[in-house]
Amino acid sequence: KAGVTQTPRYLIKTRGQQVTLSCSPISGHRSVSWYQQTPGQGLQFLFEYFSETQRNKGNFPGRFSGRQFSNSRSEMNVSTLELGDSALYLCASSLLQNTDTQYFGPGTRLTVL
């Protein structure tokens, strides 16, 4: 069974631009969570989607948004990029919502110049 895939793997943007990251969960998994990982703050929860609905949200500004499609694939969008948004963005899928057996993808490394 294929694991969680994330595209693109690397991305370079400039301040003020927007970016869309994509995540394909493991086949059959219906929950997708997004995390931001930085050296200073570690892994921080962004949001969780289940059955196309956002079920949980972390403490991030409204510039960070996401959505989930009927096939469980998910996208997250960051608008008006800031230098501090440079991070590794990780997607994790699980069979159901609020479970602890989350399978992480390799992440998208975003650099904002």
* 101 is a contact residue toward another protein (CB under 8 A): yes
Q: How near is the Cβ of 10 to another protein at its closest, in Å?
A: 11
- For every residue of the chain, DSSP letters joined together read ----EEE-SEEEE-TT--EEEEEEPPTT--EEEEEEEETTTEEEEEEEEETTEEEEE-S--TTEEEEE-TTS-EEEEE-S--GGG-EEEEEEEESSTT-S--EE---EEEEE-
User: For another protein, which residue of 13, 22, 45, 67 counts as binding (CB under 8 A)?
Assistant: 45
* 110 is a contact residue toward another protein (CB under 8 A): no
User: For another protein, which residue of 43, 51, 61, 81 counts as binding (CB under 8 A)?
Assistant: 43
- Restricted to residues 72-91, the positions that interact with another protein (CB under 8 A) are 90
Q: What phi-psi label fits residue 83: left (phi over 0), alpha (psi between -120 and 50 degrees) or beta? A: alpha
* 5 is a contact residue toward another protein (CB under 8 A): no
Size of the residue set binding another protein (CB under 8 A): 23
- Residues of this chain that interact with another protein (CB under 8 A) are 4, 33, 35, 42-45, 48, 55-56, 58, 90, 92, 97-98, 100-107
